[in-house]
């Protein structure tokens, strides 16, 4: 993994940092490969319960590296899409910790994450139309599902930014915190998640994400297929036993 993506793991929480501050943490192919590798490690390592995606030097991500784009480089991986993430998010929880700007592809990375913690000073937007481009890394598809469609339409067609408070009012972000504290706030949120049963967390995320496409006829059966292995797991017994014994559960993830 290159030094353009920094990865650390502490107490079951992974922090993935886009480390191109001189380029406003814009995404090139090396960054895409680094994020993809981190997501593979997140999902394959049972010791890691959740991850945080952030950017170095008080900027989240300014989107695709346009200089690299002009030279013919695309920061897209087959089957994974832009930044090695937007078409194949991890099965485990992923939290965006946003400082500064989350624009264009950077904004699309943020809304690909399951939860978003943002600095009060942050700005969000999909300004691609101002450059003759479109927000094709999920912005035009995910955003109308996360905020009112007419607001999403306005953001896409004008390319104008919104601030953190407006993003919170729209339900686009979970928490707004003081400048410079988004990663620590995201870690606190991740620790709350990591304290829970890992199978239950992964299953809950899957049901919420997939059920939007389920019909009345198949939704209960689809849910049962996901929840049955959880209810019959060792962790389910451990959770109930720990509650009765008034102690913290010891999860096995099975």
Active-site positions? 108, 128
User: Rounded to an integer, what distance in angstroms lies between the CA atom of residue 125 and that of residue 108?
Assistant: 9
- Six token digits for residue 7: 């990865």
Q: In degrees rounded to 5, what are phi and psi of residue 191?
A: -65, -35
Helix axes 234-244, 198-210, angle to 10 degrees: 120
Q: In degrees rounded to 5, what are phi and psi of residue 229?
A: -65, -25
Question: Could you give the C-alpha distances from 150 to 125, 144, 156, 157, 169, in angstroms and in order?
Answer: 15, 8, 10, 10, 15
| CA torsion, ordered 151, 156, 161, 167, to nearest 10 deg | 40
| CA torsion, ordered 3, 142, 130, 180, to nearest 10 deg | -50
- Six token digits for residue 134: 């479109």
The answer to whether 33 touches 64, Cβ cutoff 8 Å, is no
Q: Which of 137, 140, 136 is nearest to 157 (CA)?
A: 140
């Amino acid at each position: 993994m290159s030094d353009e993506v920094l990865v650390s793991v502490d107490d079951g929480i992974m922090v993935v940092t886009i480390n191109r501050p001189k380029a406003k943490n814009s995404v090139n192919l090396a960054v895409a490969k680094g994020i993809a590798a981190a997501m593979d490690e997140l999902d394959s390592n049972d010791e890691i319960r959740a991850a945080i995606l952030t950017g170095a030097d008080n900027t989240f991500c300014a989107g695709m590296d346009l200089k690299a784009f002009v030279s013919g480089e695309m920061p897209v991986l087959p089957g994974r899409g832009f930044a090695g993430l937007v078409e194949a998010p991890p099965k485990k929880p992923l939290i965006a910790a946003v400082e500064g700007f989350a624009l264009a592809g950077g904004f699309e990375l943020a809304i690909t994450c399951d939860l978003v913690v943002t600095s009060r000073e942050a700005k969000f937007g999909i300004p691609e139309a101002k450059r003759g481009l479109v927000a094709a890394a999920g912005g035009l598809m995910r955003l109308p599902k996360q905020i009112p469609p007419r607001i999403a339409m306005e953001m896409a067609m004008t390319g104008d930014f919104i601030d953190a408070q407006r993003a919170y009012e729209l339900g686009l972000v979970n928490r707004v915190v003081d400048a410079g504290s988004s990663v620590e706030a995201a870690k606190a949120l991740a620790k709350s998640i990591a304290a829970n049963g890992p199978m239950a967390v992964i299953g809950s995320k899957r049901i919420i994400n997939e059920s939007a496409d389920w019909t009345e006829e198949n939704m209960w059966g689809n849910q049962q297929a996901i929840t049955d292995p959880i209810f019959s797991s060792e962790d389910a017994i451990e959770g109930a036993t720990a509650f009765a014994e008034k102690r913290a559960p010891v999860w096995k993830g099975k």
